[in-house]
Each structure stands twice: as structure tokens, then as C-alpha cells.
Amino acid sequence: MAGHSKWATTKHKKAAIDAKRGKLFARLVKNIEVSARNGGGDPAANPTLYDAIQKAKKNSVPADNIDRALKRGSGAESGGADWQSIMYEGYGPNGVALLIECLTDNKNRAASEVRVALSRNGGNLADPGSVSYLFARTGTIEVPAEGLDEDVLFEAALEAGADDVAHHGDVFHITCSPTDLVAVRTALQDAGIDYNSAESEFQASVEVPVDLEGAQKVLRLIDALEDSDDVQNVYSNVDISEEVAAALEEED
């Protein structure tokens, strides 16, 4: 799940499981293809494409896969799909709100898979607008904490327009307005700071705290949604405390 609740470190470990790696690669490659199609194939002139490539490289996507996606998206190579973006809204266990972002070449298949995943895991689709008002677009940058000079990070990020810098486990999360994302990311690069990803995401304005059982149910639903090849991102307003996150880690 994209987002920066306190259990992010747990999710990062889960995402490293080999069984998930193939689906993660597919999502990252799809991002590159769509970014190149929408904004051109030159990363220097297309910040969204630049960051999509950066994230793919950080997640060890093979260079050949990245190059082919770039060529398909820019039209230099045939075979690119007609990807369409669809956002579904839903509720999960404990009344947790969900935004489910799809990139698909088959709307009917995407809708069916989202509906089935929700219904089988204690969730349901919501009417358009009934959930989205709880979320706002936010620029987010993830920076590895190891070997980092925190003072340099804070100074570079905040001077470039970042709203907040927060430490979560082995990473820092920087939040900013989506319009300031490139400026903040560039400031980090100029300061010699490496980063894992920089992208525009949805963050919830109101969160729903859950206990261990509630967290397990919500994460099971999110995993079921992410099993669909059409689902690109799942955003939720679940709030998982450090204690519950620690209990989840013990189960892994």
C-alpha cells in the first residue's frame, strides 16, 4: 500500500518477497510506459518519467525491461498497450477508506477483479466521491536513512519547499505539494542525497486506528487487491500503531 503510516517498514519487508517481485516489476514498468506516452520519452524533459525510472532502478528492475518500456511508451517500439487510468473507491474492514488506482487495458476485467477482492475480504465498493474527499494529492519522497546527515537533509528539503520530514524506521519520508516535488527532489540531488522514490500519491486527512485483528484484515484485503495485475496503487486511511506493527512483524 502506498502511503506512510507507521507500519511502512513492515510493508517494505513484505514487498521484498520473491512472489511479489514479479508484480512489482510489472507495475513499475507500466509506470514508465505510461509516463513516456503522456510526457515524452526524454527523462530530462519529463520529471514524471525520470522518477518512474529512478524507482524502477531502485527496485532492481532489469535495465532491458526499463529500456523496452521507454521505447513502447515513446512509440519507438511497437507493442504498447492502451492503458487507461481508473480510480475506484471503497471501504474495508473497520470502516477503513480505500482508493484503488488502476492502470488497465480492460475496464471490465479491472472492475470485476476489484469488486471480487473487496467482497471476499470484508470490503465493498463505494459511490464515486464518497471516499475521495478524505484524501489529497501529496508529493512524497523516500530517502534511505543509513549514513545520512540529517541536518543536510532537513535543510535541503525545507528550503526547497517541503512541508514535513519524518523518520520511519530505516527511511525518511518527505512530504510536499505535488507542484514542489521536482524542486525538492532536485535540491536533494544537489546536496548529494540519494533517494528511493519521488512521486505524487494520495494521503488521508483522517485516519482510522485498528487493533491487531483489524490490521490483519485490512492488510489481507490490500494484498488481495494488489494481486490484480490491473491495480497499480492502493491508498488507505488505516492507522497502524507501532505496537500493532511490531506484532505484525513477529508473524512474518
Q: What's the pLDDT score for residue 221?
A: 95
Bridge partners, residue 234, by sequence: 100
Single-letter amino acid, residue 38: N
Let me know if residue 143 belongs to a domain: yes
% the chain with pLDDT above 70: 91
Q: CB neighbours (10 Å) of residue 213? A: 11
Classify residue 1: in a domain, yes or no: no
Q: Domain holding 58: CATH number?
A: 1.10.10.200
pLDDT of residue 11: 47
Give pLDDT tens digits for 99-145.
999 999 999 999 999 999 999 999 999 999 999 999 999 999 999 99
Q: Residue 8 — very low, low, confident or very high, per pLDDT cuts 50/70/90?
A: very low
Q: How far is the C-alpha of 200 from the C-alpha of 88, rounded, in Å?
A: 18
Q: pTM for this one? A: 0.85
Assess whether 239 and 122 both reside in one domain.
yes
Model confidence over 191-213: pLDDT tens digits? 999 999 999 999 999 999 999 99
Are the beta carbons of 55 and 82 closer than 8 angstroms? no
Q: Where are the beta strands (DSSP E) in the chain?
A: 84-91, 97-104, 124-125, 135-144, 164-168, 171-176, 197-204, 208-209, 231-236, 238-239
Contact 37, 73 (CB under 8 A): yes
Helix (H) or strand (E) holding 156: helix 150-159
Query: Which are the contacts of 1, defined by CB distance < 8 A and separation ≥ 6?
Result: 11, 219, 222, 226, 233, 234, 235, 236
**Residue type for position 180:** D
Provide the CATH number for the domain around residue 241: 3.30.70.980
Per the domain annotation, does 3 fall within a domain? no
Residue 60 φ/ψ, nearest 5 degrees: 65, 30
- Name the pLDDT band for 172 (thresholds 50, 70, 90): very high
Residue 229, in any domain of the structure: yes
Q: Which domain holds residue 232?
A: 84-129+207-251
Domain count, the chain: 3
Closest CA to 191 of 134, 247, 150: 150
With cut-offs at 50, 70 and 90, classify the pLDDT of residue 78: confident
In this structure, are residues 222 and 234 in contact, taking their beta carbons and an 8 Å threshold? yes
At residue 1, the pLDDT reads 38
State the CB neighbour count (10 A cutoff) for residue 192: 9
Residues 125 and 213 in one domain: yes
| 118, 219: one domain | yes
Q: Does residue 182 surpass a pLDDT of 80?
A: yes
How far from the centroid of its chain's Cα atoms is residue 235's Cα?
8
Q: Which residues of 13-40 are buried (b: 16+ CB within 10 A; e: fewer)?
A: eeeeeeeeeeebbebbbbbbbbbbbebe
Same domain, 141 and 246: no
Please tell me whether residues 211 and 114 are part of one structural domain: yes
Average pLDDT over residues 221-231: 93
pLDDT, one tens digit per residue, over 41-60 is 999 999 999 999 999 999 99
pLDDT of residue 80: 67
Distance CA 57, CA 53 (A): 6
Mean of the per-residue pLDDT values for the chain? 88
